[in-house]
Structure 1
Amino acid sequence: MFPAQAAHAGDAGQAAPASEGENRTGDQDVSRDIVVYGRGLQQVGTATSGSQGVVGYADFENRPIARVGELAENVPGLIATQHSGEGKANQYFLRGFNLDHGTDLAGFVDGAPVNMRTHGHGQGYLDLNFLIPELVERIDYTKGPYHAELGDFANAGSLAFTTKSRLAHPMAEVSGGSFGYVRGLVAGSGELAGGTLLGAFEGTRADGPWVLSENLAKFNALLKYSRANWSLGLSAYANHWRSTDQIPERAVASGQIPLNGYIDPNDGGRSGRIALNFNGHFGRTTVAAYAIGSRLRLTSDFTYFLNDPVNGDAFRQVDRRGVFGGSVRHEGGEGALVWRVGGDARWDHIGQVGIFRVANGVVTGTIRNDRVDEVSGGLCGEGEWHVTPALRLVLGLRGDVIGYDVRSDLAANSGKGSAGMVSPKAALAWQVGKGVELYANYGEGFHSNDVRGATITVDPASGAPQGRVGVMAKSRGAELGARIERGRLTASLVGFWLDLASELVFVGDEGVTEPNAATRRFGTELSLFWKPVDGLTIDGSLAYTHARFRGVDADAVFIPNATPLVLAGGVSGRITSRLTATLRLRHFASAPLTEDNLHRSSSTTLVNAGAYWDIGRWRISADMMNLFNARDPDISYWYASRLPGEPAGGVEDRHIHPVEPRQVRATLRYSL
């Protein structure tokens, strides 16, 4: 099965057991009315690598999350942080990558891509804030560039979210908590014209734990009509907020501001998304199509008065676009040889992608303002040969092409062009015993770069000549892995290697693309899911990565923000027939902030707890985030900034955004 496509129950062949107490109405457990996928879903004999897997709603229903993006942390070894308000895409970390907002992590929801190319804030921008957690049925994930169906951005890994098609019963819930947090959700489904219509509406309001009130106001809506073999979904999302961005540590140490303080009160943004998507399964053929409208306006100020001592360095990034495309997959053959072919196409019609100077929250000038059309197409195919009943060989090939037309406000930076790449893939799976399988993988892939970097000739900020960069950055990787599924225990262990030809990053406050050196990463990952007795589940993951630049001076080999160690896990237990409790730990280690490793971030450790009562038609949840009130950083950077009264040239310093302090949230749900 192609992981990027959502699977129906018939495709997966079996389902994981539902979690205890899920979707209860009265004393009757109605969970069997819904197919629940999860880590209990058998992967031995179907998976093609040790690092791919499935997480279902039953796995994270009883799990405290502070923000929607933390759904991604269900993937072993992945961390989702935030440094600029809850309306912006999260900062992701996986396999020694600082993935920024998605550069090497591909995301899909109901078959439609989420990453945004040539985006105003960052290449591959992956904003998951439009998801409603209660309506996520499953998350299929992969790691590494080994899968032929996955193209752009899928170097470190991929996430494919599938939303539910129906609910056992309509429900209404309301949440409240610390720092002015209020959330409401109504959702339900019913039969209509031979199919099922699901509808949901969510609204969230929060001040946040910051001196500067966040004034978050978020709204989500979803309509989804499903028949036996196809579905049509319409979703809408709107959000606006004020940001407390990362702050210089010296300002905290001097007493100028508290740890949850701010420097510029005008940071913040607005974002919106509306999407129509279709998914169909016709025999052994799967079809997906989508049309997405996306908007972002984000005002930031990271260096304060470093470049402009009078008006300040604040800037606004704007992105308006439509994204249209689709994919088709077909499987053929039977018995010892099965083959799969597919293709996908995408058009990003970007009406505006720009960056503007701002003073006191008001736009004062233009740094760069462009219109872009970016079109891509991909073809993929793979054959799976069952050499013996226990040995499978998969060989795949993928070809991608990207065409672009940049129309800049500065003619010298306009232009057209195209680029292409062919990526071979190979996998070997050997089932050495009942419930035990070994894997070997090799693959090549790529991430695309902001195509404005491919046409630029003049730095829009300084007017100096500017070199161009390539449209695609190639990756090569390999992996050895093992998976065991024995009774109540599921575990996997992998070792991986990944080379990236160049980590090209769009520098948002300058409007240019800056090339970085080639990199190499290797490491190991361990994950397990264990149910020692009925009503008790234990899960954990550990990931270690050694990440370095290649072909650079010996004193500049460290990759900034490449976290070497990630540890996460939790225990969930049924205390009584109606009460379940959860305790979870998340830790990521100190990482270099500069290429010479002279400056490093502090490690971060968070513990969250939750308790969940099912009483007839009612469900009461109580979550406590940051149980021990840690004051660790959520994200750290090292760069120069200038505060009022400081000398020209600024001061190099560590800039941090702290984790949110201890807070409590309670939720009351009623199932009709």
Structure 2
Amino acid sequence: MAPSRLSSSIKAASIKPPVKYLLLFALGSAQADDQILQRVFVDGSRTSQLGVADAASAGSITQQELAARTVYRPGEILEAVPGLIVSQHSGEGKANQFYLRGFNLDHGTDLRTTVDDMPVNQRSHAHGQGWTDLNFLIPELAVRLDYKKGPYSAEEGDFASAGTASVVYANRLLRGTATASAGQHGYGRALLADSLDAGNGTLLYAIEALHNDGSYTRPDDYQKLNAVLRYSEGYANNGYNVSLMAYRADWNSTDQIPLRAVQDGSIGRNDAIDNTDGGKAHRYSLSGAWRRTSDDSASKVNAYLIANQLDLYSNFTYFMDDPLHGDQFAQPDKRVTTGLNASHSWHQHTDGDNSATTIGVQLQNDNIFNGLLNTQARKPLSVTRQDHIVESSAALYVENNTRWNAALRTVAGVRVDSYRFDVRSSLAANSGKASDHLASPSLSVIYGPWQTAELYANIGNGFHSNDARGATIRIDPKTGEAAGKVSPLVRSRGMELGARSSWLPGLQSSLSLYRLDFDSELSFAGDAGTTEAGRPSRRYGVEFSNYYKPLKWLSVDLDLAYARARSRDDASEGNYIPGAIEGTGQLALTVDDGGPYSGSLKLRYFGPRPLIENNSVRSKQSLMLNGRLGWKIRKGLTLELEAFNLTNRQDSAIDYYYPSQLRGEAEPVNDIHFHPIESRSLRATLIKNF
């Protein structure tokens, strides 16, 4: 994506006085400094978070930085968050796998993700709690990515303990764009996006079509249609928007494969055991947002209606449970999600201090129909379970942000969450109702008497919800044996010390040391239809993030992270947490002097991880080098070349260790199962701006 090919209409010159007061409160400035405001709002070098962020691990990625990244799939835009790894173990249409702060976050648990304040995580999902499918995302529309890590914000609730990622779409595009892309492995993409004056506001539209086979023996044949239509009036701080989004896709899956079959030559690295795995999905949404800001207050409301459907077919154990028909299973999930978020802030300005108090309400309801079926070649054989779930939640939070003097500010908050679950199961014994609630306080202290540095201390409680079916279960639907219920809400406790500095001109650095505890790592075993309560856990970690712009045309990103994850109780099998990420790193170089040529390189390191509790089996490290070249042929016309896995390494995108049984094997075999990273591929994109 070419830098600045699309841009938000927000300009420093358009900032209204009420917004200046809000920004000056955050920045601690005594008077309206338009240069400071321009630094916040205008894309360019990375925006400094000094005086803005409440933790060393929080930040904001601008549109220009996002546009300069080379991403294989839309979800990888989240890798702009330092320390976050985005992977995949199946077909292109399936939700990504996420790793952050010592977690294998599976498909999204403990990483709260939103697009324009609409939740992406899906609760009580057929395949995994917190299912986060970002394939509907159109990167060119993203004007900002805000991120936080740790349970230190009263505004963030479910799934936010490891981190949050919030993508903000544009209300208006300064230029329309038409792009056409083609590449190896059957890749093709077309995008048309523009915004037009309509009445008193702006009408933005975007239409995307994509096809990708991937580098697998059986093509993924991933086909996607995507569209966005948005009407907006006013400004980001005083205005409203109404949006329609629509996404449909279907695909084949090459799931993880057993290492033993590759080593003995039975299959190749890009082969599959079950060639009928795959899926189809759609997502339709209607949403709206309204904001009003004055000198002393700010209000915002957003509401949404989302219809999601997924039909997923997987086979991870091959012929272990059913030697005749195979172990393929289907996980259909159909839901309608509705929600409302509203908040109001009061601001007080005196000669000695500035203070803002925010009170907010968050409501969400999910009406869910999902299940688990045994299948062969996507044809149903038997039903393990089918469920109708109504899951409702309400949260109230209060947060105070006070700047006591030029050096010290604090953020103190508390939120209260209440959940209700109503499960109607095909197994009557597993039907029932449950409820739970908890309070989550948090406190951040920021000290910065210096112009180029700040220190942070953060502490707070958070949580993640468990699958509603685990809160009412009595009988294991697969074995018929008795099963114990689990707590619907699981508490986390976090603390963090951090520092941020810009002591060297052009260099921005942040360092954070953290600890995060969970009372229990609960998970829903989607391939078995049961909920398992994990052991209590503790994670320590350190993150070091740097952005350096030594020259006007050169920028360097270096992000390093290490985490130690262990179960807190003693058990004979060991205290390591399978799949828990340990070391990660990213090094990116971007060259752009404003002339006809630009380019970037990104090296990603994904370190080895324990695959079982005693650490006797570990994954190998993975390295990925991607690159991009841009050529502005003439005004309004750009050609881009993108390359993925430039060194053509044969590493794993993901590794698991569990038993499986191939056809012809007498009994199950414990083995590493892996999904290979995509082989080297090239893409070319022609971009026309108008």
TM-score class, shorter: over 0.9
Match of 1:447 among 464, 469, 476: 464
Provide the residue aligned with 1:18 in structure 2: none
Residue 175 to residue 114, structure 1, CA distance change in 2 (3 Å): same
Match of 1:412 among 415, 419, 429: 429
Match of 1:529 among 542, 547, 560: 547
Amino acid across the alignment from 2:242: L
Aligned pair 1:653/2:671, yes or no? Answer: yes
Residue 79 to residue 552, structure 1, CA distance change in 2 (3 Å): same
* Structure-2 separation of matches of 1:232 and 1:40: 30
* Structure-1 separation of matches of 2:9 and 2:300: 10
Alpha-carbon offset, residue 367 of structure 1: 0.5
Provide the residue aligned with 1:271 in structure 2: 281
Deviations 1:593-613 (A, max 9, x none): 000111110100000111011
Q: Under a length normalisation based on structure 1, what TM-score does the superposition of the two structures give?
A: 0.94
- The answer (yes or no) to whether the contact 2:10–2:41 under 8 Å persists in 1 is no
- The answer (yes or no) to whether the contact 2:9–2:172 under 8 Å persists in 1 is no
- The answer (yes or no) to whether the contact 1:62–1:612 under 8 Å persists in 2 is no
The DSSP-based 3-state class of the residue aligned with 1:73 is helix
Deviations 1:517-564 (A, max 9, x none): 010001100101111011111111001101101112265100111111
Provide the residue aligned with 2:62 in structure 1: 56
* Structure-2 separation of matches of 1:369 and 1:517: 28
Count of aligned pairs between the two proteins:
648
- The answer (yes or no) to whether the contact 1:37–1:137 under 8 Å persists in 2 is no
Residue ranges of structure 2 left out of the alignment (5+ in a row): 1-7, 25-37
Provide the residue aligned with 2:269 in structure 1: 259
Provide the residue aligned with 2:33 in structure 1: none
Alpha-carbon offset, residue 35 of structure 1: 5.6
Kindly report which structure 2 residues correspond to 1:446-525, keeping only aligned pairs within 5 A, or say none: 446-486=463-503, 487-525=505-543
Provide the residue aligned with 2:653 in structure 1: 634
Aligned pair 1:592/2:592, yes or no? Answer: no
* Structure-1 separation of matches of 2:688 and 2:182: 15
Kindly report which structure 2 residues correspond to 1:170-181, keeping only aligned pairs within 5 A, or say none: 170-181=176-187
Provide the residue aligned with 1:26 in structure 2: none
RMSD over aligned Cα, in angstroms?
1.7
The DSSP-based 3-state class of the residue aligned with 1:517 is coil
Alpha-carbon offset, residue 569 of structure 1: 1.8
Amino acid across the alignment from 1:494: S
Deviations 1:208-266 (A, max 9, x none): 11001111101110001111111111100001000000000111111111100010011
Kindly report which structure 2 residues correspond to 1:148-227, keeping only aligned pairs within 5 A, or say none: 148-227=154-233
Provide the residue aligned with 1:643 in structure 2: 662
The DSSP-based 3-state class of the residue aligned with 2:122 is coil
Alpha-carbon offset, residue 7 of structure 1: 13
Amino acid across the alignment from 2:129: Q
Match of 2:336 among 306, 316, 322: 322
Provide the residue aligned with 2:314 in structure 1: 300
Alpha-carbon offset, residue 572 of structure 1: 0.6
The DSSP-based 3-state class of the residue aligned with 1:462 is coil
Provide the residue aligned with 1:663 in structure 2: 681
Amino acid across the alignment from 2:478: A
Match of 2:345 among 331, 337, 353: 331
The DSSP-based 3-state class of the residue aligned with 2:172 is coil
Match of 1:545 among 563, 570, 577: 563
* Structure-2 separation of matches of 1:555 and 1:101: 26
Match of 1:291 among 305, 309, 312: 305
Match of 1:623 among 632, 642, 660: 642
The DSSP-based 3-state class of the residue aligned with 1:545 is strand
Amino acid across the alignment from 2:426: D
* Structure-1 separation of matches of 2:242 and 2:431: 38
Provide the residue aligned with 1:94 in structure 2: 100
Q: Under a length normalisation based on structure 2, what TM-score does the superposition of the two structures give?
A: 0.92
Deviations 1:99-151 (A, max 9, x none): 00111000111111111000011000111110101111100000000000000
Amino acid across the alignment from 2:287: N
Alpha-carbon offset, residue 435 of structure 1: 2.3
Alpha-carbon offset, residue 360 of structure 1: 2.4
* Structure-2 separation of matches of 1:115 and 1:92: 12
* Structure-1 separation of matches of 2:89 and 2:675: 6
Match of 2:592 among 574, 588, 594: 574
Provide the residue aligned with 2:35 in structure 1: none
Residue 48 to residue 329, structure 1, CA distance change in 2 (3 Å): same
Match of 2:251 among 221, 241, 252: 241
* Structure-2 separation of matches of 1:364 and 1:45: 60
Amino acid across the alignment from 2:339: G
- The answer (yes or no) to whether the contact 1:446–1:473 under 8 Å persists in 2 is yes
Compare 387-396 and 298-307 and name the one that shifted more.
Answer: 387-396
Give 4+ residue runs of structure 1 displaced > 3 Å after superposition. Answer: 6-15, 34-39
Deviations 1:317-347 (A, max 9, x none): 0100000011111111312222111110000
Alpha-carbon offset, residue 387 of structure 1: 2.0
Deviations 1:67-102 (A, max 9, x none): 111001000000000011111110000000000011
Residue 311 to residue 554, structure 1, CA distance change in 2 (3 Å): closer
Provide the residue aligned with 2:28 in structure 1: none
Alpha-carbon offset, residue 38 of structure 1: 6.9
The DSSP-based 3-state class of the residue aligned with 1:605 is strand
Residue ranges of structure 1 left out of the alignment (5+ in a row): 1-5, 16-31
Amino acid across the alignment from 1:402: Y
Amino acid across the alignment from 1:324: T
Provide the residue aligned with 1:387 in structure 2: 404
Provide the residue aligned with 1:371 in structure 2: 388
- The answer (yes or no) to whether the contact 1:432–1:438 under 8 Å persists in 2 is no
Aligned pair 1:44/2:50, yes or no? Answer: yes
The DSSP-based 3-state class of the residue aligned with 2:495 is strand
- The answer (yes or no) to whether the contact 1:14–1:41 under 8 Å persists in 2 is no
Alpha-carbon offset, residue 453 of structure 1: 0.4
Deviations 1:442-486 (A, max 9, x none): 000000000100101011111111111110110000000011135
Amino acid across the alignment from 1:139: L
Alpha-carbon offset, residue 576 of structure 1: 7.1
Amino acid across the alignment from 2:379: V
* Structure-1 separation of matches of 2:157 and 2:140: 29
Amino acid across the alignment from 1:622: L
Amino acid across the alignment from 2:510: S
Kindly report which structure 2 residues correspond to 1:109-120, keeping only aligned pairs within 5 A, or say none: 109-120=115-126
The DSSP-based 3-state class of the residue aligned with 1:599 is coil
The DSSP-based 3-state class of the residue aligned with 2:449 is strand
* Structure-2 separation of matches of 1:147 and 1:617: 42
* Structure-1 separation of matches of 2:45 and 2:512: 17
Residue 622 to residue 608, structure 1, CA distance change in 2 (3 Å): same
- The answer (yes or no) to whether the contact 2:55–2:457 under 8 Å persists in 1 is yes
* Structure-1 separation of matches of 2:184 and 2:250: 20
Amino acid across the alignment from 1:237: Y
* Structure-2 separation of matches of 1:226 and 1:491: 37
Amino acid across the alignment from 1:103: T
* Structure-2 separation of matches of 1:389 and 1:35: 23
The DSSP-based 3-state class of the residue aligned with 2:260 is helix
The DSSP-based 3-state class of the residue aligned with 2:132 is coil
Amino acid across the alignment from 2:122: M
- The answer (yes or no) to whether the contact 1:503–1:516 under 8 Å persists in 2 is yes
Alpha-carbon offset, residue 41 of structure 1: 2.0
